[in-house]
Amino acid sequence: MLDSFRDAFRLPDLKRRILFTLAALFVYRLGAHMPTPGVDAAALGKLFEQGGVLGFLDLFAGGALSRFSIFALGVTPYINASIVMQLLTVVVPSLEKMQKEGEEGRKKVVQYTRYGTIIFALIQAVGMTGWLRNLGIFTGSWMDIALVAVTLTTGAVAVMWLGEVMSDHGIGNGISLLIFAGIVARIPEAIIRTFTLVRLGEMNILIVLLAVLVMVAVIAGCVMLQEGQRRLPVQYAKRMVGNKMYGGQSSFIPLRVNTAGVIPIIFASSVLLFPYTIAGLFQHGIAQAVQSAFSPSSPIYMILYVAMIIFFSYFYTAVVFKPEDISTNMKKNGGFILGIRPGRPTTDYIEKVMGRITLGGAVALAVVAVVPTMMTGLMNINTFYFGGTAVIIVVGVALDTVHQIEGQLIMRHYEGILKRRGGKTGGLLRM
């Protein structure tokens, strides 16, 4: 990994992309520390010290929510809008057709997603500000609420823009990297608080060590889950091209255990946090019941969380993995799976195998996400929220980013070899 980063800085284009990503992350962290006026910061800090669902909400905002900064909404509105658009492209024929129209169609879908982000951000901003007003933390009038809501919505749009430009001009997925940066930025503070409580005798050192061991085990599980794959053997038939015989070689199709990566975790968390935020706007019993039901520690939340992780794992895998395309390409190149006829039978077989793999990966992903959270709750560790969800996001995004850097290095190295070969050939011709 370190060698990849060192080699990356030797290539000007790749170095520029990495530096651009770091600069964008710096801007994001700067915005997370710019508070919105009208909020009692001391009272808000005490509220978030309780942990629980507030810590979970603050996780996706990278600490911006606990400060109620201009980036308090974080990436959640954009994620919710993306989920809605992806679901609509499946069920609405006109949007599905638009998605398949090429670059222009995809640009329109992206534009609709941006409009949806503004709507979700405005709803969440009003809900969050109203909730703080009900708690007495925000002392402004309804006009002040409107002003703060516009500020938070603008901040959410700015975060969306940062994520998009990072994806276009940087390294890795911009939105995922913003979440990653928010989680990682809170680790030093959490470690200091934990050691302080241990020193004061308010936390048991054995419990902390047990929590560390759990986190190490979860990290190892995340790595195996992200890197795990099943290889389908493919045989290529021999064919004559001119006077030469080609083919007859063996290869494989790598089927990832967790094709969707961290997307199911991010999507499921964002969807389930939305009702909690909206319910905070109201004070009657139904709203309180909704907040209680959608608290990350509640059984209802856990069941829905697991179900949605499995759903989004299948959904996103179906979006990015196309067995029919793989089968068609194999048939064109004379490839086949032993015992399976080319064409539709091959497509059905790949779909069947991928379905089983995705189920296993989705269940494992849900277990890794839920079990550490339950254990930290049982161990009464409330100094920070760093359950399975956070670990999976950090490990998954880190691995994906490293893989992208390595892919860029391999491509640049291959291009360099071709250029060097071309230069040598040209010299021989000139001689």
Task: pLDDT band for 197, please (50, 70, 90 cuts).
Answer: confident
Please give the residue range of the domain that contains residue 251. Answer: 2-430
In the chain, the amino acid numbered 369 is A
For the segment 63-77, the average pLDDT, to the nearest whole number, is 84
Please give the pLDDT value at position 427: 34
State pLDDT tens for residues 131-155: 777 777 777 777 888 888 899 999 9
111 or 319: which carries more pLDDT confidence? 111
387 or 255: which carries more pLDDT confidence? 255
What does the alpha-carbon distance between residue 395 and residue 176 come to, in Å, rounded to a whole number?
Answer: 11
Task: pLDDT band for 428, please (50, 70, 90 cuts).
Answer: very low
Alpha-carbon Rg for the chain, nearest whole angstrom, is: 25
Please give the pLDDT value at position 242: 56
Which DSSP string do the residues of 53-114 spell out, in sequence order? HHHHHHHHHTTHHHHTBTTTTTTHHHHHHHHHHHHHHHH-HHHHHHHTT-HHHHHHHHHHHH
C-alpha to C-alpha distances, 197 to 58, 137, 190, 365, 401, nearest whole angstrom: 21, 27, 11, 32, 35
State pLDDT tens for residues 120-131: 999 888 888 877
Q: CA torsion sign, 57 to 59 to 63 to 64? A: negative
State pLDDT tens for residues 11-26: 788 888 889 999 999 9
Indicate the number of domains in the chain.
1
Residues 6+ apart with CB under 8 A from 396: 176, 222, 226, 261, 262, 265
What does the alpha-carbon distance between residue 172 and residue 20 come to, in Å, rounded to a whole number?
Answer: 11
Please give the pLDDT value at position 418: 40
Lowest-confidence segment of 20-24, 243-247, 410-414 by average pLDDT = 243-247
State pLDDT tens for residues 31-45: 888 888 777 777 777
Give the CATH number, domain containing residue 256.
Answer: 1.10.3370.10
Q: Phi first, then psi: what are they for 231, rounded to 5°? A: -105, 120
Task: pLDDT band for 245, please (50, 70, 90 cuts).
Answer: low
What does the alpha-carbon distance between residue 13 and residue 170 come to, in Å, rounded to a whole number?
Answer: 10
Q: Is 407 left (phi over 0), alpha (psi -120 to 50) or beta?
A: alpha
Residues 6+ apart with CB under 8 A from 234: 250, 251, 252, 253, 330, 335, 336, 337
State pLDDT tens for residues 354-396: 999 999 999 988 888 887 767 666 666 655 555 567 778 888 8
Please give the pLDDT value at position 423: 45
Asked whether residue 160 carries a pLDDT value surpassing 90, the answer given is yes
Please give the pLDDT value at position 153: 93
Residues 6+ apart with CB under 8 A from 69: 31, 32, 33, 34, 35, 36, 155
In the block, which residue shows the tokens 């409330």? 382
Token pair listed for 356: 């089983």
What does the alpha-carbon distance between residue 408 and residue 413 come to, in Å, rounded to a whole number?
Answer: 8
Give the predicted TM-score (pTM) of the model. Answer: 0.75
